[in-house]
Amino acid sequence: MSRLGKKKSRSMITGARSAYTRTFTTTGLVGEAGFEPAISGLTTGALGQTELLSEVSWEYVIKRPTRRQEAAADILSYLMATVFILGRLPELSRAEINAVLGDPPATLLSPDVLRLNRAAAESAQLLARLGGTVKIGVIMAPEFSPAAVAEDILREADAAGKLNFGLSWYGKPKAAARRLAAGLEVKKILKAGGRSCRLVTSQDAQLSAVVVRKNHCREYLVLPDQSLARTLAVQDFVDFTRRDVGRPHRDLKSGTLPPKLARIMVNLARLPAGGSLLDPFCGSGTILTEAVLAGVGTVAGTDISERAVTQSLGNLQWISRQYPTAAAHWQVQVADARKISTALGAQRFDAVVTEPYLGPPRRGRESKTQLENTLRELAALYREAFHEFHAVLKPGGRVVFAQPAFATGRQLMTLPIADDIRRLGFAQQLGPLDYARPEQYVVRQLTVWQRA
């Protein structure tokens, strides 16, 4: 561990010990037998979150279940927790986190705030891997107070230059005036401590990822249970935008899959290390490029359109130039999704991840009969496709599938093909989960299937 890393970790330990001391003081447990052995591990050789847990006397704290030891264990667990600020569609974001982290124990504090009951290593790398999470933070105190924020800044932040800091409030936030007053109180304490600072504010209760990144802001999160967390990583909106509008080929006529959604779909496949992925309706290659960036070992795409294959190849070549570390093996070829087992020969894949043809573009003036006819045609196409998916998947392989549903007023017209897919030898693992923006005529419904 670097000298800087050790310094930050020791500072974290000091802060945790301070939080324990405050908590045990208020509960009358300081000085009782059992507390000092539990807390002493926080100052003897622990240099990181994982090591911190191992240094604490868990045998004393956990195996002797008295009131004080149970309290110590609870506090240890709570203050090592990771918090995820979820994106616009939180149910989909939670499914992605479960897929990436292996269904960890977690608590939903509000629809858009998830607390993971353990430390998550390498938060910046983890967030870069996720498509549906906006921020990752670490819980640092059981209760918010301006003094706790100021103390953390004075203890850890580099004193050179002016510091930008901000507060984001989740759950049922206080009134704007009270939020501002809390921020100004932090600023007052910092100035008294000789720290030059600027309070970053927003009209909303939460600072957006854009505001945090553009202001190089040290952000603190007041969570729905009033606990305090510090932001460790913020989603790189610039990079996602570049992969969306900056790539050489985008087929706006056929429709574009957002890179964030493509990344979520790749993660939902739960691929093994060095695994293989096929997109048989690859279009301009959004799923393929996100799979390459996610570190999938082998990435293959097919499409019935020669133009789409050319676009996919161009975008994959662009990704390889822009991100030299993206070292996956990839291939793209012309093939009908209803005949891919013939086109691909003996190749077998760990997952099929795809957004198929969704029907002709909608303009909102279609009759119910027209929409029913389109759904019937799509259902026939998808049944044939799933028959081929079964042939090219390894046993236990997964299909992540984005199928359309048509919004007509208050009604959502869906594809009744789930039973047909089950009869083809698949078990449904997830979904349908809806992905749509307000006023969209076509809703993407994501499902995950596993081959027997």
Closest CA to 139 of 92, 74, 201: 74
**Among 28-32, 91-95, 327-331, the range of highest mean pLDDT:** 91-95
- Residue 255's alpha-carbon distances to 5, 89, 285, 287, 359, in angstroms, are 46, 20, 12, 13, 10
* 53, pLDDT greater than 70: no
Query: DSSP 3-state assignment of 309?
Result: helix
Residues 286, 330: one domain? yes
Residues 262, 211: one domain? no
Kindly report whether the global pTM for this prediction surpasses the value 0.85: no
Element (H or E) spanning 141, and its range? strand 133-141
* 334, pLDDT greater than 50: yes
Higher pLDDT, 394 or 121: 394
Residues 174, 273: one domain? no
> Which residues fall within 8 angstroms of residue 157, CB to CB, at 6 or more apart?
163, 195, 218
Residues 207, 322: one domain? no
Q: What proportion of the chain, given as a percentage, has pLDDT over 70?
A: 80
Residues 219, 245: one domain? no
The domain of 251 spans 240-451
Residues 189, 299: one domain? no
Counting the structural domains of the chain, the total is 2
Per-residue pLDDT of 209-265, as tens digits, reads 999 999 999 999 999 999 999 999 999 999 999 998 888 888 766 668 999 999 999
* 142, pLDDT greater than 60: yes
The reported pLDDT for the residue numbered 254 is: 61
The reported pLDDT for the residue numbered 73 is: 53
- CA–CA separation, 211 vs 221, rounded Å? 14
Strand partners, 115: 83, 107
Residues 61, 14: one domain? yes
* 40, pLDDT greater than 60: no
DSSP string, 25-84: HHHT-TTSTTHHHHHHTTSSS--SHHHHHHHS-HHHHHHS--HHHHHHHHHHHHHT-EEE
The reported pLDDT for the residue numbered 246 is: 85
Per-residue pLDDT of 93-133, as tens digits, reads 999 999 999 999 899 999 999 999 887 778 999 999 999 99
In CATH, what number is assigned to the domain containing residue 185? 3.30.2130
Q: Are 143 and 226 in contact (CB under 8 A)?
A: yes
Residues 156, 286: one domain? no
Residues 102, 189: one domain? yes
Boundary of a domain, candidates 213, 234, 255: 234
Phi/psi of residue 148, each to 5°?
-65, -40
In CATH, what number is assigned to the domain containing residue 387? 3.40.50.150
Per-residue pLDDT of 143-152, as tens digits, reads 999 999 999 9
Boundary of a domain, candidates 234, 256, 285: 234
Residues 197, 297: one domain? no
Residue type, 222: V
Residues 268, 210: one domain? no
Residues 202, 320: one domain? no
